[in-house]
């Protein structure tokens, strides 16, 4: 794995405005618009609103084949963390309405508003798959229920597809298709929910956060 190919890792959170600096064409619509199972959408909405904490291993695969693994943590509402395994140096943390992308090698953080990111939907206090979110379709393939989404007022920003195990309902995968037509897929495994997560893992505005991260990585 070449770490710089994982700049697409930031596609998990990168704001569409940054991806569109060269104003590429929007991703094309699906060849055939799938039907929408409204009952399934309602179940997913209820599941996401009931989800408080999640811990899982993840495998991320970019369109060019680059891959990375790590630990994903979600603490709803508002907090999310993707801690990549070495040698990939990226740490992505969402908290307080912002997302920090931190390169541990360069010791260089940058932040963007969580509301401008593809996964900002999962951080909301109340998740509604309607209104400012448009459901483009639902389908059942490979044992998963898949739901395609985009922001109602800005479909050109890209699309997010969430994949769920249905029995019992559990988030297992998502795919981000960005404004340049590049796809990044993240698959979750060894999923645990309803566990206690320390808020300090997400509080990157705490002055001691970076120091603690250095200790966690051994220097």
Whole-number pLDDT of residue 41: 96
- Give the pLDDT confidence score for residue 7 in this predicted structure: 42
Residue whose entry in the numeric block shows the structure tokens 């619509």: 29
pLDDT of residue 111: 85
The H or E element that residue 145 is part of is strand 144-151
Round to the nearest angstrom and report the end-to-end CA distance of the chain: 23
Give me the pLDDT at residue 11, please.
52
Q: Which two tokens stand for residue 210?
A: 């970076």
Q: What share of the chain is helix, strand, coil (3-state, %, to 5)?
A: 25, 40, 35
pLDDT of residue 50: 95
Determine the Cα–Cα distance for residues 63 and 114; give it in Å rounded to an integer: 23
On whether the CB atoms of residues 146 and 166 are closer than 8 A, the answer is no
Q: How far apart are CA 184 and CA 177, in angstroms?
A: 7
Which pLDDT value is given to residue 216?
64
Sites in the chain below the pLDDT cut of 70: 1-34, 211, 213-219
pLDDT value, residue 175: 93
Closest CA to 118 of 19, 195, 2: 19
pLDDT of residue 106: 84
Q: Which residue has the tokens 């250095």?
A: 214
Give the model's pLDDT for residue 18: 30
**CA 218 to CA 59: how far, in whole Å?**
23
**The pLDDT value given to residue 121:** 84
Q: How far apart are CA 136 and CA 151, in angstroms?
A: 10
Q: What angle do CA 4, 190, 163 make, to 5 degrees?
A: 75
Residue 218: its pLDDT value, please? 54
């Amino acid at each position: 794995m070449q770490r710089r190919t994982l700049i697409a890792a930031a596609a998990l959170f990168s704001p569409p405005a940054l991806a569109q600096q060269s104003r590429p064409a929007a991703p094309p619509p699906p060849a055939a618009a799938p039907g929408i199972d409204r009952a399934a959408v309602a179940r997913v909405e209820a599941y996401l609103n009931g989800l408080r904490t999640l811990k899982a291993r993840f495998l991320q695969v970019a369109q060019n084949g680059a891959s990375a693994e790590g630990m994903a943590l979600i603490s709803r509402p508002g907090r999310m963390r993707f801690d990549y395994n070495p040698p990939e140096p990226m740490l992505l943390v969402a908290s307080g309405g912002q997302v920090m992308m931190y390169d541990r090698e360069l010791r260089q953080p940058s932040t963007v508003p969580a509301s401008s990111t593809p996964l900002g939907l999962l951080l909301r206090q109340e998740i509604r798959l309607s209104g400012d979110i448009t459901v483009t379709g639902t389908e059942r393939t490979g044992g998963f229920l898949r739901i395609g989404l985009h922001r109602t007022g800005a479909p050109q920003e890209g699309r997010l597809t969430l994949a769920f195990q249905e029995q019992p309902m559990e988030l297992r995968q998502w795919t981000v298709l960005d404004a340049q037509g590049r796809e990044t897929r993240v698959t979750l495994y060894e999923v645990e929910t309803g566990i206690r997560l320390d808020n300090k893992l997400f509080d990157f505005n705490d002055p001691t956060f970076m120091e603690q991260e250095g200790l966690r990585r051994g220097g």
